[in-house]
Amino acid sequence: MTNVKNGDWVFVHYTGRFEDGKVFDSSLNGSPLDFVVGEGGLIEGFEKGVMGMTKGEKKTIKLTPEEGYGPYDEKAVFDVPVSNFGEKPDLEKGMQIVVTPQDGNEFLATIADFNDETVKLDTNHPLAGKNLTFELEVVDIKDASERPQHSCGGCCGHCGGCH
């Protein structure tokens, strides 16, 4: 049997849970997640957890924030004037928005709170600071050279090859 190694194109079904057991994400009702190990497209702990597994093998891994989405950073939470959102903004606590600062480098933020004057934005990843458990099953292992090359020019996720 082949063991997953750096450079392999792997297909993994997973279920991600918080410490309390609540599921935050799963591939079980769809296609398995596919990625090339070592390309850096996934969190480090997930990739390390898959290393050495064989096709059909199942295992559970537990990740600290440092192995997952990083520690929660209070400095990544800040207030902006509500006027930045237009005349009558439709704001909702927990809503995720794309922020485009003057330098043009877009990033995702979550509305943590708001009032008539300010909006508190949290730019931490929603899973930052959390211990996570993943139940993994390796569905297939292929050589990365078998992975189709995509000519779409981007990684939007809609063409099925860039995750």
> Pick the catalytic residue: 43, 122, 134, 141?
43
> For residue 25, what are its two tokens?
């994400």
Q: Please answer whether residues 85 and 151 qualify as being in contact, where contact means their C-beta atoms are separated by less than 8 angstroms.
A: no
The torsion angles phi and psi of 80, rounded to 5 degrees, stand at -130, 155
46 is catalytic: no
> Pick the catalytic residue: 25, 73, 140, 143?
25
Label each residue of 80-100 as H, E or C. EEHHHHCCCCCCCCCCEEEEC
25 is catalytic: yes
72 is catalytic: no
> Pick the catalytic residue: 69, 111, 114, 122?
69
Which residues touch 15 (CB under 8 Å, ≥6 apart)? 23, 25, 26, 27, 28, 134, 135
> Pick the catalytic residue: 8, 14, 111, 114?
14
DSSP state of 76: G
Q: Please answer whether residues 22 and 107 qualify as being in contact, where contact means their C-beta atoms are separated by less than 8 angstroms.
A: no
Q: Please answer whether residues 13 and 134 qualify as being in contact, where contact means their C-beta atoms are separated by less than 8 angstroms.
A: no
- The set of catalytic residues is 14, 24-25, 43, 69, 78
